[in-house]
Amino acid sequence: MCGTCGCSDADGVRLNPEPAAGSVPVRTIALERQVLAKNDVLAAKNRIWLREKGILAINLMSSPGAGKTTLLENTLRELGSTIPIGVIEGDQETLLDSNRLRAAGCRAVQINTGAGCHLDAGAVGEALTSLDPPDGSVVFVENVGNLVCPALFDLGEHRRVVIASITEGEDKPLKYPHMFQAAHLVLLNKIDLLPYLDYDVAGFSGNARIANPSVDVVPVSATRDTGLEGWHEWLRANLTQVLTA
Amino acid sequence: MHELGITQSIVDAVLDAIEEPRITRLQLEIGKLSGVVPDSVRFCFDLVASGTALDGARLDIVEPPGRGACRSCGHTCEFDDPIVLCPCGSADVQVRSGRELKITAVDVG
């Protein structure tokens, strides 16, 4: 830029050659659009729909096999008689998980993403309509098992819960920080296996707080019914918050 | 590999906004902390843009660095890693930039 009057810019003098005969001059159009705007608009619609019905929606995320479906089966057994619960299941293929949850006595809709590695707000919106959950209920969205992609997509949920399991190692929050940064709560599952594994629970919690300083970590075993009081308490408190909001 | 879906969203958003027959350049901002890999977007772009007004367009990606302020000591720092640690040792850093995921401009004609 000219130091005296500021008459040029940082690129200095540029030569703009005569356009070739018949060519159309190039125009630059500023856009300033968020890449995920379309998903975010659909997520906001889901959020409004949920608020009108007083429904708490929880996005459950984990790697494959961490115990999301087992935790949901346990939660249904423990709370299903007092809180209406519905589930939207996301998997690339099969109806296995929605069948498991229906067998446990809950309304469940399966989304098969095919090649897709995450759920998006559009698919969840359609699934919510199909599930038709009653007012004042809790809807769990069991995302595709994957610690990377689901972290980026707002589904319109109120809370995001990440399930880690002790067979995965203490370092996962450091290796997959986006997922742990997105979490409101982390459940550390399969603690019944602690006697058989060399696992540092405090080390995991420390790593989770490096990724997300405000996150709570609750150690549980969904198969052995251990430590789940804290999870149930958290669910009830969050449902109350949504119903009174 | 969420980048394929994200690249599809980018192309859809541009084609929704711009009704020109030919778009020659697309500029994006993908922050270092956004969780999206620019090289993967480049890989997917030609495939997704094929047969649209963006077919053959040049893809320019600006990658803003992560910037934030430590809530413990107030220090302002730059970081390109999603694990944010202030030199004072605190992980409690308020991220101010680096999460951008935006379409900023196109060239047409």
* Amino acid occupying residue A82: T
Residue A109 phi, psi dihedral angles, 5° rounding: -120, 135
Burial class (CB in 10 A: 0-12, 13-18, 19+), A115: exposed
Q: What's the confidence (pLDDT) of residue B106?
A: 97
Residues A88-117 have pLDDT tens digits of 999 989 999 999 999 999 999 999 988 888
Using a CB-CB cut-off of 8 Å, the residues of chain B touching A29 are: 18, 105-108
| Structure confidence at residue B89 (pLDDT) | 86
Summarised one tens digit per residue, pLDDT across range A18-53 is 656 666 688 999 998 999 988 999 999 999 999 999
Calpha distance A90→A64 (Å, rounded): 11
Annotated binding-site positions of B for Ni(2+): 2
| ipTM of the complex model | 0.85
A210 contacts in chain B (CB < 8 Å)? 83, 85, 91
Cβ contact, residue pair B83, A151, below 8 Å: no
- Give pLDDT tens digits for A193-214: 999 999 999 999 999 999 999 9
Cβ of A213 within 8 Å of Cβ of B92? The answer is yes
pLDDT digits (tens, 9 = 90+) for B48-102: 999 999 999 999 999 999 999 999 999 998 888 888 888 888 888 888 999 999 9
Contacting residues of A for B104, CB less than 8 Å apart: 30-32
Tokens of A179: 């997922």
Enumerate the β-bridge partners of residue A87: A108, A140
pLDDT recorded at residue A14:
57
> Which one of B12, B18, B28 has the shortest CB-CB distance to A29?
B18
Residues 6+ apart with CB under 8 A from A9: A1
Q: Which amino acid, A16?
A: N
Note whether B73 and B66 are within 8 A (CB). no
CB contact under 8 A, A33 and B13: yes
Quick check: A38 and B13 CB within 8 A?
Answer: yes
Most B-contacting residue of A24, A31, A143, A176 (CB-CB within 10 A), to test interface: A31
Q: Which of A14-28, A47-61, A143-157 has the lowest mean pLDDT?
A: A14-28
CA distance A183 to A68: 15
Binding residues of B for Zn(2+): 70, 73, 86, 88
Range ranked top by mean pLDDT from A25-34, A69-78, A115-124? A69-78
A19: left (phi over 0), alpha (psi -120 to 50) or beta: beta
Three-state SS at A65:
coil
Q: Please give the residue of chain B at the shortest CA–CA distance from A22.
A: B109
CB A209 within 8 A of CB A239: no
Query: Is B2 within 8 Å of A117 when comparing Cβ atoms?
Result: yes
**Are the beta carbons of B92 and A39 separated by less than 8 Å?**
no
Question: In this predicted structure, what is the pLDDT of residue A228?
Answer: 97
Q: Which of residues 51-110 of A touch B (CB under 8 A)?
A: none
pLDDT at position A8 is 47
Which helix or strand (DSSP H or E) is residue A173 part of? Answer: helix A172-175
pLDDT of residue B87: 86
Domains belonging to chain B, first-starting first, are 1-65+98-108 (3.30.2320.50)
pTM of the model: 0.85
Res A1: pLDDT: 40
Tokens linked to A177:
């920080």
